Structure 1
């Protein structure tokens, strides 16, 4: 394994998906991949590498725009990783097609590790605090009419008053809001920031 890959892989020790450590999750997926590959008489070594590296993009997705699966695939490509392994990493969220039986197993083993009892439990108190903090940050901006945390806290929708916030300011607000959420909050995965500015013309026919 290339030194740069080991370094980035090590960052996953400090990343969590809910309460499941991403590095530990990756090790579990690698072990599951190896067991299933052995049973199916497939390449066990490639299976382990697919499993271990499948979420490596999560160590980079704060710096690069895009999904962690494709980010990880491109990073490993620059590190001269095997093309079959690249496909396994890139396809595990169905953003590109799986080109082998082994690659198609990555999403299966990913789900097995993530959905096992106790793997990703999140307390109700922590969940509610996260939603409240999201809405508090959104409401702190001038010109905001309403703010809602939706999709179980994976998206924040900020509705602004068109008289007070123009289109350019709405765009700037969305970027600034995303940066504040990244710096002030801890959360699994990513949060979509949506600033809504609309003008309505209403008339009545009598």
Structure 2
């Protein structure tokens, strides 16, 4: 399998339920290696190289691109549209960098206005109390790495100086981009979250909207 040639064995371990989808990847059966064919190489990074996704397997609309943007948000703001499964980084001159994302499954999506309270490179992961209550056998901690559900980078969302436990983060399940499958967080391809991470400072405003609204 191509992934076995590209990546360490850690990524071949079973996926975590929290922040992970539970569906079988496209073009794969439950018996097949779910990662086969999804990766085409590695991008240098530290402490782990980033697996690069074969974009031909994805809908082209989810590719990172510059688009026209007419919203009222100021340049430097992040706007997540849950219905579109898109994240916009607002730019000057009515432009935005648009990224495809995966969002929370029904009943788990959050909307509102927050800020980037902190940023993490290859962050560790712990489940929330809600995740544990729904799935008591979840591991209570996962070290940073290729099989970590937060991926290569994470932006931690805060309100009034407090972590609200929602993240914008990478994923090791690229087939979930464009899907409504997570436990509420906004997931991106690892190469996309790295790009966003480099462009966004701590303190940036984040608008997460549904049905055209982000006010609760």
TM-score of the aligned structures, taking structure 1 as reference length: 0.24
Structure with the higher helix share, 1 or 2: 1
Q: Rg: which structure is higher?
A: 1
Greater length-normalized contact order (CA 8 Å, ≥ 6 residues apart): 2
